[in-house]
Amino acid sequence: MPTVKILHSLVSSLRPANSVLARRLAFPLLLLGAALAVVQPCAGLSFEFQETGSQAMPHPNAPATLLANGQALIAGGDGPIADAELYTPTTGTWSATGGLNAARSYHTATLLPNGQVLVAGGFDSDILLTMTELYDPTTGTWSATGDLARGRFFHTATLLDDGRVLVAGGIGDAGLNIRSAELYDPVTGTWTTTGQLNRARQNHTATLLSDGRVLVVGGLNDSSLSISSVEIYDPASGTWSTTSPLPEERGLHSATLLQNGMVLVAGGYSNSGPLARADLYDPASGTWSPTGALPVEVFLHAATLLPNGAVLATGGTVGAAAYSTDAEIYDPRNGTWTATGSLNVGRRDHTSILLRKGKVLIVGGQSADSASTELGLRVRQ
Closest CA to 368 of 34, 63, 78: 34
d(CA 239, CA 195): 5
306 HSE (CA, 13 A, CB side): 23
- Helix, coil or strand: residue 44: helix
**pLDDT of 1 above 70:** no
- Dihedral of alpha carbons 234, 238, 244, 249, sign: positive
Look at 6 and 130; give whichever has higher pLDDT. Answer: 130
Look at 187 and 125; give whichever has higher pLDDT. Answer: 187
d(CA 261, CA 210): 6
Reduced to 3 DSSP states, what percent helix, strand and coil does the chain have, rounded to the nearest 5? 5, 40, 55
What is the length of the chain? 381
> What DSSP element (H or E) covers 22?
helix 20-25
Render pLDDT for 149-176 as a digit per residue (tens, 0 to 9). Answer: 999 999 999 999 999 999 999 999 889 9
Mean pLDDT of the chain: 86
pLDDT at 363 (0 to 100): 86
Q: Look at residue 320 and tell me if it is in a domain.
A: yes
Q: Look at residue 1 and tell me if it is in a domain.
A: no
Mean pLDDT across the stretch 284-306? 96
**pLDDT of 376 above 70:** no
Instruction: Work out the percent of the chain whose per-residue pLDDT is above 70.
Output: 85
pLDDT at 25 (0 to 100): 43
pLDDT at 45 (0 to 100): 60
d(CA 45, CA 59): 30
Instruction: Compute how many other C-beta atoms are within 10 angstroms of the C-beta atom of residue 206.
Output: 22
Closest CA to 24 of 257, 276, 298, 260: 298
Q: Which residues have C-beta within 8 Å of that of residue 18, sequence separation ≥ 6?
A: none
Mean pLDDT across the stretch 269-288? 98
pLDDT at 136 (0 to 100): 98
Domain that holds residue 280: 7-379
Q: Look at residue 268 and tell me if it is in a domain.
A: yes
d(CA 197, CA 225): 18
pLDDT at 211 (0 to 100): 98
Q: Look at residue 2 and tell me if it is in a domain.
A: no
Render pLDDT for 243-259 as a digit per residue (tens, 0 to 9). Answer: 999 999 999 999 999 99
225 backbone dihedrals φ, ψ, rounded to 5°: -95, 145
pTM of this structure = 0.89
Mean pLDDT across the stretch 317-345? 90
Q: Look at residue 89 and tell me if it is in a domain.
A: yes
d(CA 338, CA 292): 10
Q: Look at residue 122 and tell me if it is in a domain.
A: yes
Q: How many independent structural domains does the chain possess? A: 1
Strand order of the sheet with strand 131-136? Answer: 108-111, 117-120, 131-136, 141-147
Q: Look at residue 209 and tell me if it is in a domain.
A: yes
What CATH number should be reported for the domain holding residue 236?
A: 2.120.10.80
